[in-house]
């Protein structure tokens, strides 16, 4: 069995214009001082990372790794959540999503999609140069506006959407395969792949591609009221990345799962800092240890109440306390009688 690596932290929610959050070197030191051993880097934040340069330059990648090593942290994965989102965008979200794209392609959905696909190509190369074997992203969404079947969906609408989603992603998955990197999609509402059923629909259409894998984040399953422990039992062979994020679901007589028009504070389902929500992390860490999860436990902080710096400080200790150092021997080895095949046959009356 393997012991999970960590604690680590996703830097997306912490990057900013003020020190120490405005450069990778200083934010890496901040994370290391809090006790984190790894950082997941958002490639869409140019204050922290230059994706194009990383895809082309070993020198840049070595410099990045060296500066982070000096701070006592390693790179867990690169993230292209925003670029992956733009691989597939329904026209209803064109204007809202444009802000995620480079200024040169805004207002041009075709050019934006091509730019996003190229960003994924660069991410595969950059991950390879950095010596990483996993990458974090989103699938994007063409069918999401039709999640609830009213008015009645035309026959074949969802199938057509997933066929097109797979058509766009299959070449990208092949590029990640050439780079030796698993592409881990965060299963997330707002994406066409938002639960186990939709992941299977996507996986089937990309031919069961070995690089099509899962970033497991139980908070999104809590808010959907999905059995997130059973999810690990079903999909553990495809779970290659892990966001440690807490949430709570408190339905009322006024709202339930579809409470998204309310503010975050007023929703039945809310993201919380680690330990403040309802997610059973003892169960999760136990299952991941039992299934030999090979990766990092990465804090993703999103909370409607607590200050992010407090959430990060508390989260490092929370993850460390939940990582199970797996045993190297059975607990009852002391009672081993030292029997052999002949003795076993005698015990069973077969001698």
pLDDT tens digits, 41-54: 999 999 999 999 99
Dihedral class, residue 29 (left if φ above 0, else alpha if ψ from -120 to 50, else beta): alpha
Nearest to 134 by CA among 298, 349, 337, 23: 298
Distance CA 160, CA 157 (A): 5
The pLDDT score that the predictor gives to residue 346 is 87
**What are the Cα distances from residue 243, in Å, to 61, 125, 164, 296?**
24, 23, 28, 9
User: Domain 5-333, CATH 3.20.20.150 — does that match?
Assistant: yes
The pLDDT score that the predictor gives to residue 335 is 62
* CA 248 to the chain's CA centroid: 19
Domain residue spans of the chain: 5-333
Residue 127: which pLDDT band, with cuts at 50, 70 and 90?
A: very high
Angle at CA of residue 112, ends 106 and 117, nearest 5°: 150
On whether the CB atoms of residues 173 and 148 are closer than 8 A, the answer is no
Nearest to 44 by CA among 124, 101, 105: 101
Token reading at 232:
């690990």
Mean pLDDT in the chain?
96
Reply yes or no on whether the pLDDT at 283 is more than 70: yes
Higher pLDDT, 335 or 345: 345
Q: Output the CA torsion 166→232→186→110 (10° steps).
A: 10
Note the pLDDT tens digit of each residue in 16-48.
999 999 999 999 999 999 999 999 999 999 999
Residues with Cβ within 8 Å of 176's Cβ and at least 6 positions away in sequence, in order, are 124, 127, 135, 182, 183, 211
Share of the chain above pLDDT 90, in %: 92
Supply the pTM of this predicted model. Answer: 0.95
Distance CA 295, CA 249 (A): 28
The DSSP letter of residue 141 is B
Note the pLDDT tens digit of each residue in 168-212.
999 999 999 999 999 999 999 999 999 999 999 999 999 999 999
């Amino acid at each position: 069995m393997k012991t999970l690596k960590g604690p680590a932290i996703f830097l997306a929610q912490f990057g900013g214009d003020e020190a120490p959050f405005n450069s990778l070197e200083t934010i890496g030191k901040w994370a290391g001082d809090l006790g984190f051993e790894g950082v997941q880097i958002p490639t869409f934040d140019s204050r922290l990372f230059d994706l194009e340069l990383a895809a082309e330059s070993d020198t840049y990648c070595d410099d990045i790794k060296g500066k982070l090593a000096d701070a006592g942290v390693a790179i867990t994965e690169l993230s292209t959540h925003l670029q992956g989102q733009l691989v597939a965008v329904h026209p209803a979200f064109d204007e809202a999503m444009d802000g995620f794209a480079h200024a040169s392609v805004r207002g041009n959905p075709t050019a934006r999609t091509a730019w996003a696909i190229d960003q994924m190509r660069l991410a595969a190369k950059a991950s390879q140069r950095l010596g990483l074997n996993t990458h974090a992203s989103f699938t994007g969404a063409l069918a999401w506006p039709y999640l609830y079947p009213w008015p009645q969906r035309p026959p074949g609408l969802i199938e057509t959407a997933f066929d097109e989603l797979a058509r766009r992603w299959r070449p990208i998955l092949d590029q990640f395969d050439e780079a030796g990197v698993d592409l881990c999609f965060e299963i997330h509402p707002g994406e066409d792949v938002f639960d186990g059923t939709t992941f299977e629909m996507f996986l089937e259409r990309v031919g069961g591609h070995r690089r099509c894998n899962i970033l497991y984040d139980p908070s999104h399953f809590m808010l959907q009221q999905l059995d997130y422990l059973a999810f690990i039992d079903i999909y553990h062979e495809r779970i290659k990345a892990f966001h440690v994020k807490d949430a709570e679901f408190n339905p009322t007589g006024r709202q339930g799962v579809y409470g998204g028009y309310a503010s975050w504070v007023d929703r039945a389902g809310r993201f919380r800092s680690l330990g403040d929500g309802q997610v059973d992390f003892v169960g999760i860490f136990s299952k991941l240890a039992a299934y030999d999860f090979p990766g990092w436990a990465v804090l993703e902080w999103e909370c409607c109440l607590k200050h992010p710096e407090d959430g990060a400080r508390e989260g490092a200790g929370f993850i460390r306390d939940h990582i199970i150092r797996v045993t190297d021997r059975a607990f009852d080895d002391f009672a081993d009688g030292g029997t052999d095949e002949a003795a076993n046959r005698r015990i069973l009356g077969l001698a």
